[in-house]
Amino acid sequence: MPCSPTSGCASTPPSGGPSTLRESVRHPQAEQAARNIAAALNWQGVAMLEFRIDPRDNTAKLLEINPRFWGSLPLAIAAGVDFPYLLYKAALGLPARPAPVQTEGVRVRNLLPGDLLHFIAKRGRVGIDFFDPFHAQDELLSVRDPGPVLGRIASAAGLLFDPQLRAVLKKRQDPDRRKK
């Protein structure tokens, strides 16, 4: 579960979507269920098993299994489990065991564009933590490595020249325009 129930997690759109603020938590039952499922499937490699905690009895309910890296991967890495590196080691035939203790309470946010879109959609009605730069580390912004931010900006700028996107935006600007 990428967000704890008390962390004030945000998403874009706010009604549900990719999370923009995530916090690492431990849920032993979900962890054991994931191990059991992976063992039963004789799973090798990357998979994301997503659980939702049922508030009625605090049990983990399996939502889905995805055989790929997931959007909240930067949270796992920040919390001490570098899945891409572990996969690399496994591919080389080296022992690939995660660290025995992962850090709880690590917060990672997606400011560009996630949190900014969340802020706009909520019309500025966000918690004071939103404006605290030390509240959570950003998954993209880094003084040591500005490349990902530049790449995100360049990809967004490229969308401005996409004829299909421009057509969609033009239709939104002129709601009376009817498709022929």
CA-CA distance, 27 to 60, in Å (whole number)? 8
- Write out the chain in H/E/C secondary structure: CCCCCCCCCCECCCCCCCECEEECCCCHHHHHHHHHHHHHCCCCCCCEEEEEEECCCCEEEEEEEECCCCCCHHHHHHCCCCHHHHHHHHHCCCCCCCCCCCCCCCEEECHHHHHHHHHHHCCCCCCHHHHCCCCCEECCCCCCCCHHHHHHHHHHHHHCCCHHHHHHHHHHHCCCCCCC
Look at residue 5 in the predicted model and tell me its pLDDT.
38
pLDDT digits (tens, 9 = 90+) for 3-12: 443 344 554 4
Least trusted range by pLDDT, from 23-27, 105-109, 133-137, 144-148: 133-137
Look at residue 112 in the predicted model and tell me its pLDDT.
63
Q: 106 — phi, psi (to 5°)?
A: -80, 130
pLDDT digits (tens, 9 = 90+) for 116-156: 666 666 666 666 666 666 666 777 667 778 888 788 778 77
Instruction: Check: CB of residue 112 under 8 Å from CB of residue 152.
Output: yes
pLDDT at 14 over 60: no
CATH ID of 21-138, from 3.30.470.20, 2.60.40.1930, 1.10.10.10, 3.30.559.10: 3.30.470.20
Look at residue 7 in the predicted model and tell me its pLDDT.
40
Q: Band of the pLDDT at 16, cuts 50, 70, 90?
A: low
Question: Which tokens sit at 52?
Answer: 């939702």
Look at residue 67 in the predicted model and tell me its pLDDT.
93
Look at residue 113 in the predicted model and tell me its pLDDT.
64
The model carries a pTM of 0.66
pLDDT digits (tens, 9 = 90+) for 29-78: 999 999 999 999 999 889 999 999 899 998 999 999 999 998 888 888 88
Look at residue 166 in the predicted model and tell me its pLDDT.
72
